Chain A
C-alpha cells in the first residue's frame, strides 16, 4: 500500500512553454500533498504544500505564479511549470500524506519527474 505515482517520469520541453506534472496517490486518500525540487547533487527542497480543495502554501522564494499547484481531489495534485526556462530544469518530486490516522504520519514519495528545459 501507500503508492504514489508521477507522470510523466521525464519531460523535455522548449524554453517558454508550460509543463504539467501529475502526482497521484494510488491506494489511499491524501489530504495533503507536497512538492519538492532537487537539483543535481543537492538535497530535496520543499516548494509548496497543498491541501485538497484549498490554495497551496508556497515556501519562501518559490514563485506561486510560475509554479501553479492544483489539488482538486484527494488522490491527485498537479504542478504546472509556466514559461519554463533552462534554470527550471530539475528533478521534481511529490509526496502525499495519508488521511488515515493509522499510518505513521509519514510522507510517501513519488518516483520523481526529471524536467529538462532546452
Chain B
C-alpha cells in the first residue's frame, strides 16, 4: 500500500503557483520523498526528490517539514501543460516505487 496521502484533485490558475501537499506521517529516517507526474496517456515523469532539506530544480521546489511527516511540491508558475496527475512516493529503495492515487491537478486559463 502507498504510504502517502494526497488530495484527489486540485485546481490552479495559469501563471499562479500550484502547491501540492502530501502527508507521509509514517516515513522512516532513511526514506526519501519522490515526486513524479503523469500527463494523460503518457509514462510518468520524474520531478524532484528530497530527504530532509528543501530542494529546488528547474521544474519545481520541494518543501519538507522539519518532522518530515509532510511535504509540499511547488510549481512556481503553473502552465496548462502542467495539468497532470502528481504522485508523491516515499521510499528508501527506488526499485520499489509504489504509486498511490495521486493528485489530479487541473490548470485553467
Contacts and interface: CB of A to CB of B under 8 A. Distances in A.
What does DSSP make chain A's interface, helix, strand, loop or mixed?
Answer: strand
Interface residues of A, number: 25
Given A43-B100, A46-B96, A49-B95, A109 B49 contact: no
Interface residues of B, number: 20
A104 B108 CA distance: 32
Contacts of B34: 106
B97 interface: yes
B100 A112 contact: no
Given A49-B95, A105-B94, A107-B94, A43 B42 contact: no
A4 B46 CA distance: 13
B45 interface: yes
Given A4-B43, A111-B42, A112-B41, A43 B95 contact: no
A95 B97 CA distance: 11
Interface string A1-40: 0001010000000000000000000000000101010000
A89 to B, nearest CB: 14
